[in-house]
Amino acid sequence: MGELRRTSGPRDERVPDWGVSVFESHHADDFHMADRRHDFAKALYVLSGGGRVWIDGEPHACAAGDVVIVPIGRTNRVEDAPRAAMSLYAMCVRPGVWATADAALGERMPCGTVTPGDSAGGRLRDLLRRMLYVQSTDTPGRRAHLAGLALQTLALIEQLGVRGAKRQATGAARDAITTAGTPTPKNDPDDAMRRYIDELEHRFYESTSLDAEAERLGMSRRRFTELFKRHAGATWLNHVKALRLRHARRLLAQTHRTVTSIAFECGYGDLSTFYRAFTGEHGESPLDYRKRVAGP
């Protein structure tokens, strides 16, 4: 299997002039970060491991599933716990991104650790994965799409943190998470399914299930399964798998991203599951595919 590429120092947190950057970072056991200060807001989503994020000299403990918000202009550094080096997603956003939509948003952002519930945490993780995906493409409107996703992420973080929901999402936040992005089916279930299948082209990396998707469309599991296979020509599980592996092939061939990074971006929760899916479909490992298609 591919070896996870870990770093002993912090990533370069440069943010383009238009305002949004997202990256992932996997820390080595000897990771060390000096104090730094930014002219942008930063949100860290901890994928694994744990430790503390120091903000203006105050420690904020964090573990897998937590989000740590660093407001603009605050001195900050990440400190891993012994034998628990962190892997995380980081989103950096300049104030100009939200200035027009909500100029006071930066002032209302929580500072420090927010612990979302499972649903909110999944939604945050999916938004960050989507941003990584969009950032890796060269499609028209990419910058606007990233800015919109950043605003959604900041809005969700505000809902979780500003009302004092440090340990679980408030009811209002859960409602927002449940309804955000939910398609509104028309009376024609076939039309709703066709639109849903088109939408999956941009949502295949999200953490979800067949039952959850059937509920989103207001259908029974049996009805959803029947309509999906009729219009997609495959089962829901196989169709999602095909979309994920198609994106994985593109990243393996066209980027230098690690296999672990690609697995997470494509929606796989762990490396071994990705390897089984890829090898079972293509008869070779992701690394062998990369060597064959892209060369050394």
Q: Which CATH number fits domain 238-294: 1.20.1300.10, 3.40.50.2300, 1.10.10.60, 3.30.479.30?
A: 1.10.10.60
**114-166: pLDDT as tens digits:** 887 666 788 888 899 999 999 988 888 999 999 999 999 998 888 876 544 43
**84-103: pLDDT as tens digits:** 999 999 999 999 999 988 88
Please state the pTM of the whole predicted model: 0.62
Per-residue pLDDT of the chain (296 residues; tens, 9 = 90+): 445 678 888 877 889 888 999 999 999 989 999 999 999 999 999 999 999 999 999 999 999 989 999 999 999 999 999 989 999 999 999 999 999 888 888 888 889 998 876 667 888 888 999 999 999 888 889 999 999 999 999 988 888 765 444 333 323 333 443 334 444 434 588 888 988 888 788 788 888 889 988 888 889 999 999 999 999 999 999 999 999 999 999 999 998 889 988 998 899 988 999 999 999 999 999 999 999 998 66
How confident is the prediction for the chain on average, in pLDDT? 85
Comparing CA positions, the residue from 42, 98, 92, 47 lying closest to residue 68 is: 42
- What confidence score (pLDDT) does residue 184 get? 41
- What confidence score (pLDDT) does residue 12 get? 79
What fold does the segment set 20-178 form as a domain? Jelly Rolls (2.60.120)
Write down the domain spans for the chain.
20-178, 181-233, 238-294
